Structure 1
Amino acid sequence: MHDFAQMGTRRFGRVNWLGLATLCSREMQRFLAVWTQTLLAPLATAALFLLIFTIAIGPARGDVMGVPFTHFIAPGILMMTVIQNAFANTSSSIVIGKVQGNIVDTLMPPLSPAELVIGYLVGGIGRGLFVAVAISAGLAIFLEIMPQHPLMLIGYVILGSAFMGAVGIVAGIYANRFDQMAAITNFIVTPLAFLSGTFYSVDALPPVLRAITHFNPIFYLIDGLRYSVLGVSDSAPALGAVVATGSTLAVAAIALVMFTRGYRLKA
């Protein structure tokens, strides 16, 4: 594998645009080639969540923060589905490459660590956006929910996809086997997603749990998306954007360092 730190200026210039575009295209084509699994399945899962909670809790729950319970949980389910798919896209791409032994095909070309991170993130963000569009269309058709701040919604979807895409890169580099990746997903990613205000307002939590929740970046992503769709939130949307952006940059920096050092990537 190339020692990226010593590469300096390459004959491609400071940015290998062709290589970066090729990596981005590959990561996009990975999930588009199996769209029934990567795009249709998340839509079905989100619909099942809404149906189950509506039947089991909706009629008796009453309004939450001034909106019907089904409408309240809809943006949370949207963001939860988006971030799970963004994480799955980047992490699976790297882990499959490591397990099959073809990760070297990605590492050997003259791509810098930053270009590798960006290329993988583009795939994760692309998948997140596709999922968001599909679910948003379903919410508009079946629940008549139209976003109050469409541009903010797009921004939070991109932020959420970038954040969990970066987490997926770090997890994919760290994991050497599928069972290790499954453990990260089951014991870290899923609990953070479910315990972030997706199905409830954090005001209903005891003070200690409420304080802990505010250290979870996913809470701010879900809360910000809820505000962009419904106009209600538990915290200031601007604060959520700052926390989400800072968290994304921090995790992306970790991924950059891991690629630069070849951590768990060198044979």
Structure 2
Amino acid sequence: SMPDTAERGNRIMAIFHFTVKIVGRSKGKSVISASAYLNGDVMKNEETGRISYYTSKKEVVYTSLMMCENAPPEWLHVPEENIKRFQQSIRYKRADDKDAALEKFKITFQKQRLWNEVLKIEKNADAQLGRSFEFSLPKEWSRQEQIDYTTEYIQKTFVDEGMCADWSIHDKGDGNPHVHLLVTMRPFNPDHSWGSKEVKDWDFVRDTDGNIVVDESHPDWWQDKKNPDRHGIRIPVLDENGVQKVGARNRKQ
């Protein structure tokens, strides 16, 4: 089958793979570890004290952090003492390009702050922490085109919609350049505080006047425990075969 194509100006780009996963507490996958892998760097999980090392990953050819408009600007602050400590490190002293090494350190520090802040707010054992994407890039593109087009795509698709985007391009030189991307799931309020995650609004059975039918004996009757005013007979979500979709923990959708 032909790969999906996305038109870019007068170019057609073939997207050969595109995967999406949720990084959550219940899966046992650390969002700090996921970010450290994506960046090919070292990150500390402030909650557990665990440090993730991925400095041997040489295929990370570009890395970026794009914060959305309402994210707290102070999360981007890298303290002077941390910079000085890094400049004393073997990694910095051995780096061929010291400016690039310092820039990478700062970005990684900022990403570490972002995901540790996510861990502070998402306390539930089954909390969803972020969405993880991986997609391939056309190897015909120059590195700059890969960076520019990916930046534009992530800005429009995620950052403009209120998400922070932690991403990098990996390229082992084997003809498979690809992007690893982690985005936040909880929105920010205009005052830079965390907002509420969207509550799924069910479609409820309504009468001819458009009012929600109240029948608590109906098998599909549902009431929100936290907000009892949200209630009704849920209209089931069916898959393409007309079968009731079932979500996590066998909950009807």
Output the TM-score relative to the length of structure 1: 0.25
The structure whose RCO (Cα within 8 Å, separation 6+) is larger is 1
User: When you count helix as a share of all residues, which structure comes out higher?
Assistant: 1
TM-score (norm 2): 0.26
